[in-house]
A and B are shown apart, each in its own frame.
Chain A
């Protein structure tokens, strides 16, 4: 390593001010500080510093996302072959979860890796452009956003859309505010919301969740074959409040036992493991919880937010069970925690420390309200089958207000000490 260190730092003068490649300094700084923690020593204040830095912190989040990524790759492949099996009988055996494991992984890799690569390439390009303008190397925030963005997308979303969404999110969502640490909205969710509203057909409906649904429909003559369904569990649930409820492709009548049919179609254990269609990385509650365990143990994510977010969602789900005004409200409250992107959002998105509430009690309220709002949007506003994205973005905006009240409490408590004394 000494040799590598010598080679790299022999280049130092060329990249410093006045050097030949001065303009490329941000790129050089990023690479050299990645390989070697710089030799900066303390100048002011404390002479010794904690070992932790933002690189290690952000790396841990990327690491925690790996279970979701791996499961997402497999799940993408699985649902591709599942939907294909309705026109290609040779894949009928693939409807079983473990049959064709290798094929599914290969298909998933071919679908998901390009999303990841495009997201990182587009985002890092923008980050570096801003780095060149401001003269600093890469700040690590995007390393996490770059992984989150593909995991929140349906697998079939066109790559150019991912690219422009990422560019939009990094520029408008983050850099205009001053870069990492200064943004108001979660960057990955900004990217998703941009696509959701700009290209709704690529982000919602019942043709995007299983990769290759469009090809299958062409082969089937533009009619969904019997027994096939392209909807998510949340899409089915949203149909319960309409006139023609659907469960897993089966058109039902309002008088049927919708809740029972739903529970048979989406077994809670399957949903918990993640064997349901959805965006790439969001489906597996257990994979998200594995990542969550890493983040809570290492203290990178706030356990207050995660726990209260789940609590808020569950409580509102139970409240809906109590109100019981339609079939959707009768679906057991805990279902909300294991379908859609609830767990993924609660663990990886809501906990983004920059956009979440920053005070201890603020985090609790932020999580509770965010969880409740997610379920509220899902159940009470069927225009949006999934509520997690909007709920977290809304709470991002509300977080400073929540913190404001917590800070006021602190100020009042502090002043009270002098009145009683």
Chain B
């Protein structure tokens, strides 16, 4: 039974710098890294040490609190360095590829013929499990949880988001294979949600063994959180797993070929990037090969992911595990005279959801936004602004305040189990008081994990 949802609330932030629909090969990265920091709350236990030789699919570390979850190498090569931060926390495990593409081989299997436990074990052992995230908490899925559904969003509505229709085009067979494997993991349904505004690629349209839903509207229509909320909401104690479409293909390929497939197509986007295209690279690749010759200037912010939820990285840093996009924006570290570009300026250069700016006059204009805060942090004053961009039936202000005051009961009642920080990215964007809301929600979720899970 397919569901169609139309959102009335939301906000599409229109930026300059979409990637052209061209797939090109990125040069083989000089370095690749697996970053435990990509997985919130993970405490890694190393399996290898500096100087060890690894193949594609060799375990690098596992989850200290859930030893069955293994994280594997996306390349064959030598462990170059284990980078540690404060309190010896592992930040990156760097691997220097040897270029041989040697991989750990398994027998190819049809997931439809496997049991739930066999699929699960194969995914855990071979580094596929981290592709699965769970709601509540927006962390790596708990292998012991019984998800009532698995959600795959076939589109991304973040600013300059990559087009998954383009990325997965032609991968029908692997995508379907991945869906078949996922279907084994849940007693409920696998939901594939398409963009109701456009016609999706055949890979998605023809998918079997899933429920196909449509969501239309502005961002966050493409967020799985939005889709879960309207299609199959979760209550306390229930679990839903979520996966990105590209990772479904990777899961499908593993079962079809018997080896871990680290390939990843990444869109280079943003006003400060040249040669904005879709680059074929691998998970955890150093971005230097993609961005170094493609920057408009030196003073830029490079983001693994999108402008709302991505992570700041530098030009020699690594692509995030879940990211299919690199965004390059102008850094906004300049003073702005109040009458020209500052707080009282005409504001034609600012994209605002508020009618205090002439944004509403120019419906189709695309903006070159920088990373300036455009103001200073204040206490909450303005009300009603977040509600306009929050399509979920969640009271954003009240939930944020509950999280700020560490009021667990209130957070539970107001829907903390349904949300992830990314669902509040727009609230953070529009906030007049410049409060870092995604972080507050994350801290709230951490508290819930500690006290209630």
* A residues in contact (CB < 8 Å) with B: 1, 4-5, 9, 33-57, 59-60, 137, 139-141, 178-182, 297-300, 302, 353-354, 356, 358-360, 363, 403, 407, 410-411, 413-415, 417-418, 421
Contact = CB atoms under 8 A, between A and B. Distances in A.
A45 B381 contact: no
A413 B354 CA distance: 29
Interface string B420-453: 0100010011111110111100000000000000
Contact of A180 (B232, B301, B378): B378
Interface of B: 13, 15, 159, 232-233, 235, 301, 303, 307-310, 312, 327, 329, 331-338, 340-344, 347, 350-357, 369-376, 378-385, 387, 393-395, 397-398, 413-415, 421, 425, 428-434, 436-439
Contacts of B370: 41, 48
Given A41-B333, A41-B371, A360-B387, A297 B376 contact: no
25 contacts: A37-B336, A37-B375, A38-B376, A39-B332, A39-B333, A41-B301, A45-B421, A46-B428, A47-B301, A47-B307, A48-B329, A50-B350, A53-B434, A56-B375, A181-B381, A182-B379, A353-B383, A356-B383, A360-B384, A407-B398, A407-B414, A410-B414, A415-B235, A418-B235, A421-B233
Q: Which of A55, A56, A140 has the most CB of B within 10 A?
A: A56
A358 B383 contact: yes
B54 to A, nearest CB: 33
A358 B13 CA distance: 26
A300 B436 contact: no
B373 A52 contact: no
Contact of A139 (B337, B379, B384, B429): B379
Prevailing SS type, chain B contact patch: loop
Contact of B382 (A1, A40, A353): A353
Given A46-B308, A54-B378, A359-B395, A37 B341 contact: yes
Contacts of A360: 384, 387
Contact of B335 (A36, A298, A300): A36
A58 B190 CA distance: 49
A418 to B, nearest CB: 4
A182 B380 CA distance: 8
B354 A298 contact: yes
A5 B334 CA distance: 10
Contact of B373 (A36, A40, A59, A140): A40
A4 B337 CA distance: 9
Contact of A46 (B354, B414, B425): B425
Contacts of A413: 393
A41 B398 contact: no
Nearest to A4: B337
A366 to B, nearest CB: 11
Given A41-B301, A50-B350, A51-B352, 10 more contacts: A39-B336, A39-B372, A50-B432, A52-B354, A54-B378, A56-B375, A181-B381, A358-B384, A359-B395, A421-B232
Contacts of A353: 381-384
Given A48-B371, A52-B356, A54-B432, A59 B383 contact: no
A359 B343 CA distance: 27
Contacts of B413: 411, 414
A42 B341 CA distance: 17
A179 B379 CA distance: 8
A47 B333 contact: no
A379 B84 CA distance: 73
A178 B379 CA distance: 9
Contacts of B15: 48
B308 A37 contact: no
Nearest to B425: A46
B328 to A, nearest CB: 11
Contacts of B373: 38, 40-42, 49
Contacts of B233: 417-418, 421
A232 to B, nearest CB: 33
Contacts of B430: 50, 52
Contacts of B357: 51-52
Contacts of B438: 44-46
Contacts of B397: 358
A179 B381 CA distance: 11
Contact of A36 (B338, B353, B428): B338
Given A56-B343, A298-B354, A141 B428 contact: no
A411 B414 contact: yes
A9 B413 CA distance: 48
Nearest to A32: B335
Contacts of A180: 378-379, 381
A410 B350 contact: no
A358 B380 CA distance: 11
Contacts of A421: 232-233
A354 B352 contact: no
B376 A53 contact: yes
A72 to B, nearest CB: 25
Nearest to A413: B393
B372 to A, nearest CB: 6
B355 A299 contact: yes
Contacts of A52: 352-354, 356-357, 374-375, 430, 432
Contacts of A140: 378
Given A41-B373, A44-B436, A47-B371, A5 B337 contact: yes
A54 B375 contact: yes
A178 to B, nearest CB: 7
Nearest to B310: A47
B439 A48 contact: no
Nearest to B359: A51
Nearest to A410: B395
Contacts of A57: 354, 356, 381-382, 432
A59 B354 CA distance: 14
A302 B431 CA distance: 16
